[in-house]
Each structure stands twice: as structure tokens, then as C-alpha cells.
Structure 1
Amino acid sequence: MHTVCVLALPDTIAFDLATPIEVLGQVRLPGGQAGYRVLVCGSEPVVHAGPLRLAVDHGLDALADADTVVVPGRYDPTAPVPTAVLGALRAAAAAGTRIASICVGTFILAAAGLLDGRRATTHWAAAEQLRVAFPAVEVDPEVLYVDTGQFVTSAGATAGVDMCLHLVRRDYGAAAAADASRQAVAPLHRDGGQAQFIVRPGVRAAEIGLGEVLGWLESHAHEKLTLADVAAHARLSVRTLNRRFHEETGRTPMQWVTAVRIRRAQELLERTDHGVDRIAHLVGFASPAQFRAQFKRLSGVAPQAYRSTFRAQPRTPAGVPA
């Protein structure tokens, strides 16, 4: 049987810890036997996981017999990692053990030096922090998970489910993974190269000097805005506006507008039964073709594929712009 050690460190994220326990622990093979023996391991007998206190039944020595080690994230990803944990991870890696991380658990693998020169991902909000702290790691913040063979890293919370299903597919094939996805009530088709689905302007409006302009754009992005319109509202020349946007956001004003429109389109795809063409009009695109191209570029998937994954019970919220 394939043995999985889930590493529980102080201040571990409970959701990350539970994901491999539940997804992998529920795998059943055609004969009915369990596919994985899942152990929770740590350097301390009791750890805090947010508001929870968890008893840890196995020490770090269990990693020596593991086929896979899964490292959940911690609420403070930059907190020092116990020396014994780093040593145990390095020893496991040297022995050829597969090591995977969920969300900001990538920081722990990076701290152990396991990701130097390798491509890896983490939650998009922590990607830049990871890149700065560990410049030898090739950080890709746009995907759900990265599998480089021995090391597998995943993005935020639910991407850990996708990664676990991917591990099942690697270990036992597509049929076992499909059954595991049904047990987890999770889509099986989301592969690692799929985008994290988060369209984000990049910084919060309150943090930068253009805050009032960005707030105005949030409310008016669905209108037929031009660069001159934005400059007029900001009381700046077009040249100055472009310079300020580039300095403070790393984007042009119209790139920002496009990101706001796509984020609004994601909300409508999730929460309404409007057709794609209508959504394109509602959020401010000149044509459905332009909308589809921009949506695919920023989200990584087509609008219908996004809706299929994230669709809630169809309903039309009040206040949708007509």
C-alpha cells in the first residue's frame, strides 16, 4: 500500500491539512482495498491549526518509510521552519520520496532547498513573496499545480484537491482518480496547467496614489471608456496618466479596465444565467469575440469552461447593469 505522510507543523492551515487526509484517504481500488495509508506526522505531539489543537500520532521518523510526503501551508508562510523538519524533508528527497505541497506549503519545500532551479507554484497572493524570498525557484503563479516528477506544488486551498486527484491518477490510473473525484465532489478535469482563475488588478486601490481613479473605474468599467475619458476624470494628461499607472500598477489604464471587466464577467458567469454574448455587453466589451479572446487570455479558459466549473444555482442578482 502507498504510504502518505501529511506534515503537521505549528500554525498549519487546517483546510490544507485535511485535504490530502480526506481525498487520498478515501481512495478505494477495484478490489475494495484502500489505495493509501495516510499518516499525520510532525516534530511536536500537539500543534495549533488556527483555532484547533491537533494531536500528531507520528514523528518525523515516519517520513523515512513514506512513498509521498504532503506539506500543507501555514498561516505565516515566512515563519522559520524547524531544523529537524528541514532535515527530514531533505533526507526524504534524497531517498527519492515524492514530496508535494499545498498552497503556501511551497515555502517550506523552498526553505529546504528542494525547489532550487525548479518550476513551482503557490497561492497567487504569495507568489511575489516566494519569488523574493527564494530567487532560485522558478515561480509560476498562474497555474493550479506544477508536477516536476519528484516534487509537486499546488496553488491555493482547492487547488490542493486538484493536485491530490492528479496524484491518484499518477499512482492508480484515470478510473481510480475519477472515483476519487466523485467521493470528493470535485471536478476531475482541472489539470495543472489550468489558470488559478483569479483576475486581479494587482494592488488594492487604497494602497496607491491612484486610489480614487481606480475606485471610479470599478464603477464605470462597463461603460464605453476611452483612455481620454479616464485621463479627463483623473484630471491628468494622457501621457501623465499612462506614466502614473505604469509606475503604480505595472499596467496601462486600459489593461486595468479590461481586468475589472473580466472579473465582473466571472461573477456573472457564476451567478446568472445570462448568455456569454450578453455578459460581454454588460461588462463593456465592444464585441463577444473580443470578450472571449480577453477572457481566455486573462483567465486561461473560455467563458463557458469557466462557467461549467464555477456555476452556482442560476440566479440573476439585483442591480445587474442593463
Structure 2
Amino acid sequence: MLRNVAAVIWDGVAPFEFGVVCEAFGLDRREDGVPLLEFGVCSQEPGLVRSNLGFAIEAPCGLERADQADLLCVPAMRRGDPVPPWVVETLLRAYHRGARILTVCGGAFALGAAGLLDGRECTTHWNYTDELSARFPEAKVVPEVLYVDTGQIITSAGTAAGLDACLHIWRQEYGAAVASAVARRMVVPPQRDGGQAQFISRPVPEVDAETLGPLLAWILENLHDELDVDSLARRVLMSPRTFARRFRAETGVTPYAWITAQRVRRAEELLERTERSIEWIASEVGFGNAAALRHHFTRVRGLSPQAYRRRFACGDAATA
């Protein structure tokens, strides 16, 4: 279970990407039901570290703090600068003792310098993926995703994708309810499309669509109903073809994909918070029967509903 997080920074650190990991893991959100994590900011020595914008950021901790972390976070830095040897050594120590390592945007270049991307799928900002591939030809760079989780190492794309990766880690460690609470405080979606690994839904979640917003809100309140394109189109006074085209334009996916994603997310909440049977949950979220729920849930999450409940359920629901 994730308890201890550290960010390692050095001269040239990007303050926004650094702020992403501070926002995700460094704030006390216990009033929202989010566990409090130990969080530290580290550098080679305690003191001021110059950002890539010229102002300084204080790192109160030295490397002994980084060596205690369950999760070591590496924000973006100036890609043209060599990665300091002490950073490489810190990353290798973390990796060999089994800590997880998260990079945001150009932070992946530090992992490459440490040899930790060799033979591994990874990503970075789309503008730098070619450069990452050229500098580290043994890395398997995936340019089209928000982040890549290979187990011990998580690499994320541009700045906002760092938030997606952080929420992914919260979900893995503490479940959908905690990840959603963190997302609400940051005013971002709990999950976005991006070809992510397990535990992250491929269809996009609810969005503030321009014209279909009220319909999307209604769908979320009526997931148990039969929600086909024809009936939804009638509800907004559109032809099915126009409705399907407008829906995809405003959400990025088909009505079927969006609704399925919401049903899986609602099933997650019920699995975590209730002791209801899988059959009951399947009916409540609109999948109709347990077999359909298992099919969609396992495809999206990589776990069966029963396995997800055992991992993330609160209280007695874990044994239901």
C-alpha cells in the first residue's frame, strides 16, 4: 500500500510538472476521505533548486528521504542538460529496492539516462517522443497514450497527463472512490481516454458537452434503463444519425462506448461500497446480468468484479 512519496528535483526542473505531483500526493485531503501520505521534496542536498523559469524552489530534504519512498516522482527537466550522475544513482537505487517510479513529461529522459527504459514501453510529451526514441533506441516509446504503466515504472505524457497517471496510481492503491475524491478537488475527470493499462477505462468519462450536457447527466441517473441510440435521439429531438454524429463530436466516442464506461464506473463504486451481489449490481448499472458485467468489467479493468471487490472494497463488502 502506498504510504510514502518523494519528488526528486535538480536544476532545470519544470515548476508546473513539479506542481502536479505536489498537488496529487502532497496535500492533506483527509476531510474528503483520502489517506494522508508522507510527502517529501528531495535534491542532492537540502536547499534551493533553480527552475527552468529562473526562480528557485526549495528542496527541504536530501537523498536519504528519496531512499525511503514507496513512489519516487520525477518531474520534467531541461532535456538538453545532462542528467546528473546522482540522479541516475538515486533512480537505480529506487528501482532495485522495488520502489515505483513515476515520471511526468520530460522526466522520462532521466529514466532513459539510467537505462530503466531499455526494453520497456514508455511515453513522454508527444513533441518529444521522437527525441526520446532517438536518444534511447532500446526504449519502446508509445507516442499516442496519456501514460504507460509497466508495473514498477509509470511514464506520462504532457503536463495534464501527469495528473491522469497520478490518479491512476491512487485508483490502483486505494480504489475508484478515493481517486474520484482527489480528482474532484483538482477539478479534473477521474479518468480519460488514452490507451491506458488496466484499471483505466478506455472510453472517456462524463464531460461538460456543449449541447448534450443535460442528456449526459440524465443518462448517469438512469444507467439501469435500456439506453439505445434511437431512444436517446428522440429525447433530444434529433435523428439517430445526427445524434450519433453530435455525440461523438462532443464526447470523442460513440454513445455505446460512453455509456458502457459509465456503467463500469458505477459498478466500481457499488463493488467498493456495498455488499450487493454481482447479479444485483449488473442489473442496477444496466448490464442486465452478471455475465455481461463480468465481460465488460474484465475487458476494461483487467480484473473480474469479484477480484476488484476483494482488492478495493470498504469494510464488509470485501467479503460479500
TM over 0.5: yes
Unaligned runs of at least 5 residues, structure 1: 195-268, 275-287, 293-300, 308-322
The equivalent residue for 2:3 is: 2
Q: Give the match for residue 303 of structure 1.
A: 249
TM-aligned CA deviation for residue 41 of structure 1 = 0.7
Q: Does the 8 Å CA contact 1:162/1:191 hold for their aligned counterparts?
A: no
Q: Is the 8 A contact 1:27 1:180 kept in 2?
A: no
SS of equivalent residue, structure 1 residue 10: coil
Residue correspondences, number: 212
2-structure distance, mates of 1:31, 1:189 = 18
Residue 120 of structure 1 contacts residue 139 of structure 1 at CA under 8 Å; is this kept in 2?
A: yes
Provide the identity percentage. Answer: 38
Q: Report the RMSD for the aligned CA atoms in angstroms.
A: 3.0
Amino acid at match of 2:249: P
Among 60, 63, 76, the alignment partner of 2:66 is 63
- Identify the residue that residue 173 of structure 2 maps to in structure 1: 171
User: How do residues 1-322 of structure 1 correspond to structure 2 at under 5 angstroms?
Assistant: 2-26=3-27, 28=29, 34-44=35-45, 45-49=47-51, 50-74=53-77, 76-193=78-195, 302-306=248-252
Q: Residues of 2 paired with 1:178 and 1:120: CA distance?
A: 25
**Contact 1:26-1:180 within 8 A present in 2 as well:** no
User: 2:124·2:143 contact (CA, 8 Å) conserved in 1?
Assistant: yes
SS in structure 1 at match of 2:102: strand
Q: CA deviation at 1:121?
A: 0.5
TM-score, normalised with respect to structure 2: 0.60
Q: 1:17, 1:43 → 2: CA distance?
A: 16
Q: Give, in angstroms, the shift of residue 271 of structure 1.
A: 10
1:164 aligned partner, one-letter code: C
**Which residues of structure 2 form unaligned runs of 5+?**
197-206, 213-240, 254-320
Show CA shifts across 1:15-62 (max 9, x none).
000111112223645895743111111124211111321111111221
Query: Can you list the C-alpha shifts for 1:183-222, whole angstroms capped at 9, x where unaligned?
Result: 110001215516xxxxxxxxxxxxxxxxxxxxxxxxxxxx
User: How far is 1:131 from its partner?
Assistant: 0.4
Structure 1 segments of 4+ aligned residues over 2 angstroms from their partners = 25-35, 269-274, 301-304
**Aligned letter for 1:142?**
E
Q: TM-score, normalised by structure 1?
A: 0.60
SS in 1 for 2:67: helix
Q: Are the equivalent residues in 2 in contact too, given 1:146–1:192 (CA < 8 A)?
A: no
1:64-117 per-position Cα deviation (integer Å, ceiling 9, x unaligned)? 11000010001x213111111101110110000000100010001111111110
Secondary structure at the counterpart of residue 40 of structure 2: strand
